[in-house]
Amino acid sequence: MKELALHLLDLVENSAKAGASCISVAVHEDLGSDVLSFSVKDDGCGMDAEFLERVRDPFTTSKPKVTGLGIPFLCQAAEQAGGFVDIASVVDKGTTVHAVWKHSHWDRAPLGQMAETVTAFFAMPCRIVFDHRIVDQTGAAVWQLELDSHDFGGTPLDAGTLAALKEFLDVQYQEGRKWVNQ
Amino acid sequence: MGQSMKSMQELEAIRERARKAMQVRQNQEGGPVISVAMGTCGIAKGARDVMMALVDEAAKRGLDSVVVTQSGCAGYCEHEPMIKVQLPHQDAVYYGSLDERKARDVVARHLVQGEIANDYVLQLPGGEPLA
């Protein structure tokens, strides 16, 4: 996957697949401490210790007959760019995935089409709480986007609303990316 | 600093629209639903672009009430991106190996004209369409 926004979509899909009723997604870009992080927290079925141990292995998947690979790809994307992936999970309680990159790292893939990824979140059949913020070199919060599908009356949304949301997000992200050199 | 006043107002208008659409949907029995397979395989092969094309084409054609949702990997990773079109009171139809152009074509042919776009229907190894 060429953009980190696709990895983020993949993480949220994992949470949906785990039967989550609410998924909290946070994207933080702190230019002062040079960190980009994703945090995806769900209340899905969780993983036991034995599975958690194996989840970074490319030959592991929860799914019968299909490949998986999402988490190994994410680990690779983070580790090649001075970052890491942290996964905490409790059976029947949920999973939290935390992925961190060095923001300015030469090998960090671009964030990519976030407006599209966030629009796709609203096609998920569960509650989505999304927060993306950018903090500049001086530690000041310069841009923030907060969305909660609860305020939209629930998900998945109809095509008309999704199209309007996508248009809104395109404008927001055009503004947001101006704060970041990429 | 949060979002500007103007963008907050725009966002509230979109939320309001969504809530109204949701109410309408709750009061009437199911309309058309398109679900896009969004497993790692689907995402890697362009499922997000296909979803955006479906949303855009449906909205452009005034099919505002169509629900676009997502599902996981169906196990036919080699045929991604894949979608399922479910019209009320009809059998679901699966389309495979889509791209943005084909996705827009499916909206035009299946949802507007009501004809199955046979050339994109997912064919299983036995030669039988998955429909």
Q: Is A62 domain-assigned?
A: yes
Residue range A175-179: mean pLDDT, rounded = 91
The angle formed by the CA atoms of residues B122, B123 and B124, to the nearest 5 degrees, is 120
Q: Does the pLDDT at position A122 exceed 80?
A: yes
Prior bond to B88 cis, omega within 30? no
pLDDT band at A66 (very low <50, low <70, confident <90, very high): very low
For residue A66, give the nearest of B10, B70, B77 by CB distance: B77
A98 within a domain of the structure (yes/no): yes
A128 to chain B, any CB pair closer than 8 A? The answer is no
Domain total of chain A: 1
Q: Provide the ipTM.
A: 0.91
Residue A164 lies in a domain: yes
Arithmetic mean of pLDDT, A116-122: 97
- Give yes or no for residue B104 having a pLDDT over 50: yes
Whole-number Å distance between alpha carbons of A18 and A62: 10
The minimal CB distance from B39 to the residues A13, A113, A171 is found for: A13
Tokens 């369409």 sit at which residue? B129
Distances (CA, A) of A165 to A93, B46, B72, B106: 31, 20, 23, 22
Evaluate whether residue A81 is within a structural domain: yes
**pLDDT for residue B125:** 66
Residue A67 lies in a domain: yes
Mean pLDDT taken over chain B:
90
* More confident call, B75 vs B117: B117
pLDDT at position A99 is 97
Query: Is A103 in contact with A34 (CB distance < 8 Å)?
Result: yes
pLDDT for the residue numbered B23: 87
Instruction: Note whether B56 contacts A16, CB cutoff 8 Å.
Output: no
- CB nearest to A159's CB, from B15, B23, B68: B68
pLDDT at B85: 96
Task: Work out the percent of chain A whose per-residue pLDDT is above 90.
Answer: 80
Q: So what's the pLDDT on residue A67?
A: 47
Instruction: Determine the average pLDDT of the residues in B56-60.
Output: 96
Cβ-nearest to B18 among A117, A142, A153: A153
A168 touches B: beta carbon within 8 Å: yes
B4 to chain A, minimum CA–CA distance in Å? Answer: 10
CATH of residue A113: 3.30.565.10
- Domain membership of residue A36 (yes or no) is yes
Q: Do B75 and A113 touch (CB under 8 A)?
A: no
Residue A86 CA to residue B92 CA, distance in Å, equals 39
Q: In this predicted model, what pLDDT tens digit does every residue of B19-46 receive, in sequence order?
A: 999 988 887 777 899 999 999 999 999 9
Give contacts of A154 with chain B, Cβ < 8 Å: 22
Nearest CA in chain B to A70: B40
> What is the pLDDT at residue B74?
80
pLDDT above 80 for A85? yes
Averaged pLDDT, A102-113:
95
Cβ of A76 under 8 Å from any chain B Cβ?
no
Report pLDDT for A65: 43
| Interface contact A49, partner B, CB < 8 A | no
Q: Which band of pLDDT confidence, cut at 50, 70 and 90, is reported for residue A29?
A: very high
Residue A57 has pLDDT above 80, yes or no: no
Query: By residue range, what is the domain housing residue A87?
Result: 4-177
Are B43 and A163 inside 8 Å of each other by CB? no
Least Cα separation, residue A90 to chain B (angstroms): 22
| Shortest alpha-carbon distance between residue B19 and chain A (Å) | 5
CA atoms of B40 and B47, how far apart (whole Å): 9
Would the CB atoms of B21 and A153 count as touching at under 8 Å? Answer: yes
Q: Evaluate if residue A70 carries a pLDDT over 90.
A: no
Flag whether A182 is in a domain: no
Query: Quick one: pLDDT at residue A68?
Result: 62
Write out chain A residues lying below 8 Å of B44, CB-based.
Answer: 1, 6
Span of A84-93, B44-53, B73-82 with lowest mean pLDDT = B73-82
